[in-house]
Amino acid sequence: MRRLFFAVIFFIFIAALGFAQSNYQVIAVKDGATIAGTVKWSGPMPRALDFPITKDQQICDPASRKTADLERLIVGPQGGVANTVVYLKNVTKGKAMDLPEQRRHLDQKHCRYVPHILLVPKDAALDMMSSDATLHTIHMDGAATFNLPFPFPGRVSSRTMQTPGLVNLRCNGGHVWMNAEMFIAPHPYYAVTDESGRFEFNDVPPGTYQIVAWHEGWSLQGKEHSFDVLTERSVERPVFSEPRTWEKSVTVSANNPSTVEFVLSNK
């Protein structure tokens, strides 16, 4: 019942996001502004999350590390937090879509998703492939629902993402540690931070906006039983804590840069 409740809330959130951004209008931006900043970590680092590699060790674990890094929290040398999605919440008009191409292409390599955070424009295609000589099955929940097998390496499969919102990706082929997140973006003012924690938006129409920093979270709540479609056996899958968000107001004026800083911590 609890999982059903959260599922209903999640889909209400997805529907509301899609409705709120469905009227985005592309215009010629004159005297556009720049919003830039960083997402940084403060305080003690939490323990890194890893998970036993229990299948296809030769393919998934060529370095014989025995465990996979779940990539939930990546902090650079200067404290910047990578893989944070930053976006403008209440933007209704602005420049045409220009999100980076590299986050629209997903590879499955050594039984991990590359990149870990995807950013695909609404009504654009996500290209997926596997570099691994084993069966992977990408299962998507959220704003997109697909279950796509990849039995052969090097073959590209594409799907158009039509509904804006958040999508969780996992492998239903028994590689239970594989996880990734995808935002289907209804406008171009989305960014994913690098290891320095930096983000930047340009050609922002003058005005006041809510700017949001979203992170998938770095805690493990436990394990749940899942079904391995290949071996037809029950396997244990990690269960992560809920994503976390931080929100600020930012006002930008014509041709002027604005700076927004986010600080994440375990508090």
User: What digits encode the pLDDT tens for the residues 74-88?
Assistant: 999 999 999 999 999
Among 121, 89, 87, residue whose Cα is nearest residue 103: 121
The closest of 121, 115, 113, 120 to 139, measured between CA atoms, is: 113
| Cα–Cα distance measured from residue 150 to residue 157, given in angstroms and rounded to the nearest whole number | 9
94-104 confidence digits (pLDDT tens):
999 999 999 99
Residue type, 251: T
Given its phi and psi angles, is residue 95 left (phi above 0), alpha (psi -120 to 50 degrees) or beta? beta
pLDDT of 3 higher than 50: no
% of the chain surpassing 90 pLDDT: 83
Query: For the residues 8-20, what does the mean pLDDT come to?
Result: 44
The string of pLDDT tens digits covering residues 116-148 is 999 999 999 999 999 999 999 999 999 999 999
pLDDT-derived band at 169, boundaries 50, 70, 90: very high
pLDDT for position 231: 66
Contact 84, 193 (CB under 8 A): yes
- Residues with Cβ within 8 Å of residue 16, at least 6 apart in sequence: none
> What pLDDT score does 122 carry?
97
Q: How confident is the model at residue 48 (pLDDT cuts 50, 70, 90)?
A: confident
**What DSSP state is assigned to residue 9?**
H
Q: What is the pLDDT of residues 190-248, one digit of tens each?
A: 999 999 999 999 999 999 999 999 999 999 998 988 766 666 778 889 999 999 999 99
User: What confidence score (pLDDT) does residue 257 get?
Assistant: 95
**What rounded mean pLDDT belongs to the chain?**
91
Can you list the domains of the chain with their CATH numbers? 2-264 (2.60.40.420)
Element (H, E) at 3: helix 2-21
